[in-house]
Structure 1
């Protein structure tokens, strides 16, 4: 049985060598002593078989050497004709056959002599060994086909080759792509004997690549941030794999393995066609520069970052690839490198040993990352082409949740799947490379033409003209010579693709001969499937940013629309009152510009740009004054409109005149031309869509009523050409025109009782009863097709206007009906803007503006409108008064604001706000401190509260608070101070003395205690990381904190009793401030010997109650708060202790406690009193800001996991945990009235406002 199998294998091997395109090389047949040792270890219990294997090593090695010689001869016969373009020489083939026949006979005899009686043993042992190899290294998948089953036979019966990652990867790569009926099978070790004689199909490479494409598609659809994260990880892995190869090469060079380096260019050819074909693969490896350029819109400051990224990445990748090839040639010969399909894997198999799996893993990671980045780039090309009208519009739609071009990504995934079915990676690379370089050449031709015809056109970045010329020459070289050198079907297919694409573009895009009904259904299904909508046309800061621009009198506020809401970006002041603001996008721009007209007729075009430092700046592209010396300003106000194709700006400033400003991309001055208008009393004007020349439509009134009329403008002659159409006698209260985008065209006329759609040939009119109550005063368009509009009236109601379409006989669409539905109540709108995903910004001048969301179903109040965010506005203010409501000396402003249903009283107070997060009812608190008990934690987890005669400990467990105990803590006495100190210990100070609590394996325990002597107990304490200063009567004690011990370092007796004290920064040589009772003074002492440095008398008879030494902005201050709410503060010389620059400020009326805390990495001071105040330094001056709390008695910093960067504040009855505002600001409280307030007066005795 064995002999027959061996004979079949050898005969098949001969046929494979003669017919296969990829000859079997010596690397495919590895027989090593290591493999035979593994066989001996696996079968040590079989003495007969072990003896046989050991005795046969020498004979098998000799036969393998002969087989390798045969393979080299066969390779020579097969590879030489391909290099020299000549036929196979018959003598070579004959010589190979003769040598092979001799080898076959010798092997057959050897096998016959060595394996006469051990068939079953060999089958069982080798079967188990093969199954183990395959299960361990390929998770049980057998990567072979019928063609490779002969090699498996050799593994089982002849034991000539072993299975390692390189062999398996090569076999899978070679045969999986060539298999036409591949089938994945999973073979366990126990199944191997039954499957020995059955060929196992290879995994389907096409299926695997399709799955990889789906993974990449999911990542690119999900989030740009997810793509960036994955790409960064894969990029690092790719570089790491390259460095592994380079490191291995350096090691081999150090070992002296350089024999192959001198033969690296042997057999080279300088055929131009061959060089072009070789460049396809090389340039494919460096094609990342193209992916960078196609995502220019999403790059910050592309003029700097695109060239910078290319100039850094290309040399870096070049260096990596060159050094990798040098590393390959330290191990592999020229013949080896040209015969194996995966050079890096062969290198890893020989150099890295057990770690060789890192190479194929790195190759797979690098390939996946590269493919994903290419997909990211080409989808943006598809998205931009669709947005510019060169592809189906639906491919320019964006997912409403993830803000990614999901339809374009899915479309590219489908195209990728089609290309995968080719199956031959080499043919695919050559096909795609020729295709790409052909279009690179066309792009360079277009670029050179545009350089000539549109030299001044703004561009994201510009390169010297020599660069596109050079690229054009290279593109011609790479496109023409390969066809001349090797004409083949793939180039014909590429030309067919180009012809097909040109045909589709010409018919369906250029001439717009699209099946409307089918396209509409396809668009609808795509939108539903990918939750996508047309891209917004409010991209000011970048082509991908969705922005909201709000004009407030003379200021512009720029917001970025994010999934979390509106994020402020920039606020700009203007020298004038904004009368009109319009957004437009010229065809030569990739983002929007803003036209602004002030009340004094100053016009400007603004652009938002990002500087090299990342800052956002406003640039004036053009400006000018459009006023006339004569003319009657219109009583109906200023009207400003912009042509949909951004050809001209239209202004109605004076009765009987219509001004036009042609939009020239090179002009920096706005010059207006006046056109005589027969219609004097104009109520509204707009530009119509889809007109070859700019055409306006207007509503005007004469003695016979109101009418609509259109005028076509000749920009060359700057005059009206003709009247395309008009409609007399529309509703007498019609006042608003809404232009409808193409292909419908026409306009909607909004009146007080009716709504009419008119396109010049037909019209549709409705009289919905919902709008008859109050007139409509503003509108906004919802979708890009112009089928849905939002209408707002002066009563604060929101309506949806829907254009219902029908298909005509010629396949076009027309408006069939108009539907109006009441959505709900909103603030009284002055303007409205639909942002995205059902979110609308409502701008109001009679109250607060708002951000609302439109829901698909009614809420409990039968409304479709859900408020999201409110933007406070005090306007209009009719009356106001200043009062002290809480009688704390903090005046507040009360205004009569708003009008109609948005009328309200606004109570305005200046200060810093505390955002409450939690509160606990605990009266009588005398002190409060935060501790960290968990080991190796940076968060506070415990809150210690001191009361008269007792101490309570609270554990912060998330947002829950529980009372607990700390071993070693005294709970039945009042704590004057506690905190974390050096050596991971706690300190507690009571009237009895100082207790040091240390950590033990069983928990906390009392480590040391220092008890004060005498009858007077401790009453005032200050503590540093390793020092405690406490006072009992007039005596001051300095105690050092050591590891498990307390040591009294110094003691001093003051002239009077100590009222307050505090330690300054400086460690062992810090300053100590001491406030005394009777003489009302402040003393400065020096540690560690408590040496007096300075005495400062305080004026008055009020004793000091709290003292604090801290450093703010590099200046050391001493602050001393008195019992009447006033405070002295000084600057301190930290060397001499001298106090200078004495100043006094009144903070409140009650005794004040001073505590320091950190906010935004800066030190601040909190003054606890009946008028809480935050003290901070700004430009080396102390600033005092009121806190919007009624009273605070104690404060401590709290940085818990559930309450990070917070403050714990105690009042007479509660403990509040909250965060503090970053800056001082106005705090406004609203009292809704539901009607317009007129006058306000305040009666102080009863605290009643009238």
Structure 2
């Protein structure tokens, strides 16, 4: 007889990975709920309604739990919005009175998800193809999932495993690795890359439309949608490219072939040798050919700060990549580069030319980032503060970086943008939030005060965006925090941008727990026998522990 050594009483709720994509529906299935109204038809003092646009699905993982959500948008004055008895959070923004997360499917997997990516189907807004979900597990197991309308759930389209005797040479004699698989997908959906065993990169080539894969003809004949699928895969040994100590990688925009930018350290350093070795990182851009396996080096940048740890691909039409470090932010592409110092610890390479400095001091280690617009990025710091980074550019040349404070939120484990008006803040330590944002032009001081009031008057204070500290609040009232000055398209005058945020929905997180107790109830039945006679009570205190994940690690 066998007994379970561990029984999960509550599924994990702390979200570790999040992403967005058109999983249950395609871009062509979207019917505009709120048409855009031109500002000329409105009174000058009324803001223009720009519409919320196509809203993708939300995919989240928490330990070994995978969940897929769809966003239900309620427009202002709609019949279903008036008759709905569900409480709506926030007010009206861009003609939207509410947005709710509706659970489509929930799965408990047989392993913790280490990394997740959404493989885009490519094409424009009229594309009828759907995106797919790629999950990575330790040590080198990969699963590709797609939505099946017949079962109204996810199914596995392909599985890839790089373990076992035939792949033992990839480990090069090592038995364990500090980091699990790291995954990223090409923005145009041509391939996906997974970093395994620290220095092995697996390229999953996506199938093109009409490639003749099994199931495509049946889906087309029955009028069903086709999801992005994997056609083939191969392994690139980064040692052959003279790359070691990889920190991050990302696929960039606006290239004919997929181009991956890899952030790596040429040599390691530590705090005791910062005065001698402080710019040891490097980024290298390689063209990934889908016909010939050897990648080609396009461009590279050396002498980046040793504390650089994250890459963020800049969307079209600007292109390029942001290198985020604890003390600096750098922008690089083939023909242009610029940087921004975040605090007094930021130093230049030769210490002769100082970097432009931000108007306030901040540290960006362990930060999460996403794009609100093609030139405005949202950063979430380790303290829960939200920052807005704007790329001031002329044509396709970025002139400078401007960083400004916004509001404060939960401590995030990831951020993803959902369409053109929503983003999702995932958290392991607090409730994850679905937030709607709006970008206005020429906002005045009164509108900034209204933004504070909208969030301050939320229903549940434990699940809302919090106002920043007193010094940040003073900046907000002065009208400087949410304002950006950048080059417009005509490059003749400066345009002012202001952002408004409104919490629409949240996913409750049970934890982190500081203490709990359990016991067995006394059985008062005099005829009870066996285990029913047990009458005891046991107390258990787990200080600084959390049950967000089934894994056996305790984080304070």
- Correspondence for 2:248: 684
Question: For 1:1137-1152, what aligned pairs fall within 5 Å after superposition?
Answer: none
- Correspondence for 1:707: 282
Pairwise CA distance, 1:706: 0.8
Pairwise CA distance, 1:866: 5.3
- Correspondence for 1:755: 329
Query: Residues 789 and 802 of structure 1 are in contact (CA less than 8 Å); yes or no, is this contact kept in structure 2?
Result: yes
State the SS of the aligned residue for 1:818. strand
Pairwise CA distance, 1:774: 5.0
Q: 1:625 and 1:764 mapped to 2: Cα distance?
A: 41
- Correspondence for 2:393: 805
User: Which of residues 100, 110, 128 in structure 2 aligns to 1:575?
Assistant: 110
Answer yes or no: is 1:617 the counterpart of 2:207. Answer: no
Answer yes or no: is 1:549 the counterpart of 2:88. Answer: no
Question: For 1:281-292, what aligned pairs fall within 5 Å after superposition?
Answer: none
- Correspondence for 1:658: 201
- Correspondence for 1:821: 404
TM-score (norm 1): 0.27
How has the CA–CA distance of structure 1 residues 1237 and 683 changed in structure 2, closer, same or farther, with 3 Å as cutoff?
Answer: closer
- Correspondence for 1:112: none
- Correspondence for 2:442: none
Deviations 1:981-1017 (A, max 9, x none): xxxxxxxxxxxxxxxxxxxxxxxxxxxxxxxxxxxxx
Q: 1:710 and 1:655 mapped to 2: Cα distance?
A: 18
- Correspondence for 1:607: 146
Query: Residues 764 and 817 of structure 1 are in contact (CA less than 8 Å); yes or no, is this contact kept in structure 2?
Result: yes
TM-score (norm 2): 0.59
Query: Residues 140 and 181 of structure 2 are in contact (CA less than 8 Å); yes or no, is this contact kept in structure 1?
Result: no
State the SS of the aligned residue for 2:189. coil
- Correspondence for 1:326: none
- Correspondence for 2:187: 644
Q: 2:503 and 2:49 mapped to 1: Cα distance?
A: 26
Pairwise CA distance, 1:762: 0.8
Answer yes or no: is 1:874 the counterpart of 2:435. Answer: no
Answer yes or no: is 1:858 the counterpart of 2:452. Answer: yes
State the SS of the aligned residue for 1:805. strand
- Correspondence for 1:780: 370
Pairwise CA distance, 1:708: 1.1
State the SS of the aligned residue for 1:847. coil
Question: For 1:334-345, what aligned pairs fall within 5 Å after superposition?
Answer: none
How has the CA–CA distance of structure 1 residues 570 and 794 changed in structure 2, closer, same or farther, with 3 Å as cutoff?
Answer: same
Answer yes or no: is 1:585 the counterpart of 2:128. Answer: no
The CA RMSD over aligned residues, in Å, is 4.0
Q: 2:542 and 2:404 mapped to 1: Cα distance?
A: 34
By percentage of residues, which structure has more helix?
1
Pairwise CA distance, 1:755: 1.0
Unaligned runs of 5+ in 1: 1-297, 303-382, 388-395, 411-520, 539-546, 807-811, 907-1235, 1239-1250
Q: 2:418 and 2:235 mapped to 1: Cα distance?
A: 35
Question: For 1:61-80, what aligned pairs fall within 5 Å after superposition?
Answer: none
Question: For 1:391-406, what aligned pairs fall within 5 Å after superposition?
Answer: 403-404=33-34, 406=36
By percentage of residues, which structure has more strand?
2
Deviations 1:109-160 (A, max 9, x none): xxxxxxxxxxxxxxxxxxxxxxxxxxxxxxxxxxxxxxxxxxxxxxxxxxxx
Pairwise CA distance, 1:691: 1.1
Query: Residues 596 and 603 of structure 1 are in contact (CA less than 8 Å); yes or no, is this contact kept in structure 2?
Result: yes
Deviations 1:1215-1248 (A, max 9, x none): xxxxxxxxxxxxxxxxxxxxx997xxxxxxxxxx
Answer yes or no: is 1:672 the counterpart of 2:233. Answer: yes
Pairwise CA distance, 1:780: 1.7
- Correspondence for 1:1248: none
Max Rg structure: 1
State the SS of the aligned residue for 1:719. coil
Pairwise CA distance, 1:670: 6.6
How many residues align? The count is: 375
Query: Residues 136 and 181 of structure 2 are in contact (CA less than 8 Å); yes or no, is this contact kept in structure 1?
Result: no
Pairwise CA distance, 1:733: 0.7
Q: 1:597 and 1:771 mapped to 2: Cα distance?
A: 37
How has the CA–CA distance of structure 1 residues 858 and 406 changed in structure 2, closer, same or farther, with 3 Å as cutoff?
Answer: closer
Deviations 1:1051-1082 (A, max 9, x none): xxxxxxxxxxxxxxxxxxxxxxxxxxxxxxxx
How has the CA–CA distance of structure 1 residues 897 and 872 changed in structure 2, closer, same or farther, with 3 Å as cutoff?
Answer: farther
State the SS of the aligned residue for 2:139. coil
State the SS of the aligned residue for 1:629. helix
How has the CA–CA distance of structure 1 residues 554 and 816 changed in structure 2, closer, same or farther, with 3 Å as cutoff?
Answer: same
How has the CA–CA distance of structure 1 residues 898 and 760 changed in structure 2, closer, same or farther, with 3 Å as cutoff?
Answer: farther
Query: Residues 823 and 865 of structure 1 are in contact (CA less than 8 Å); yes or no, is this contact kept in structure 2?
Result: no
Pairwise CA distance, 1:597: 1.3
Q: 1:664 and 1:773 mapped to 2: Cα distance?
A: 42
Pairwise CA distance, 1:626: 3.1
State the SS of the aligned residue for 1:575. coil
- Correspondence for 1:794: 382
Q: 2:134 and 2:303 mapped to 1: Cα distance?
A: 33
Query: Residues 751 and 776 of structure 1 are in contact (CA less than 8 Å); yes or no, is this contact kept in structure 2?
Result: no
State the SS of the aligned residue for 1:680. coil
Query: Residues 640 and 650 of structure 1 are in contact (CA less than 8 Å); yes or no, is this contact kept in structure 2?
Result: yes
Q: 2:244 and 2:67 mapped to 1: Cα distance?
A: 35
Query: Residues 657 and 674 of structure 1 are in contact (CA less than 8 Å); yes or no, is this contact kept in structure 2?
Result: yes
Q: 1:698 and 1:579 mapped to 2: Cα distance?
A: 19
Q: 1:549 and 1:873 mapped to 2: Cα distance?
A: 16
Question: For 1:214-293, what aligned pairs fall within 5 Å after superposition?
Answer: none
Query: Residues 114 and 182 of structure 2 are in contact (CA less than 8 Å); yes or no, is this contact kept in structure 1?
Result: no
How has the CA–CA distance of structure 1 residues 568 and 669 changed in structure 2, closer, same or farther, with 3 Å as cutoff?
Answer: closer
Q: 2:157 and 2:35 mapped to 1: Cα distance?
A: 30
How has the CA–CA distance of structure 1 residues 587 and 843 changed in structure 2, closer, same or farther, with 3 Å as cutoff?
Answer: closer
Q: 1:801 and 1:600 mapped to 2: Cα distance?
A: 36
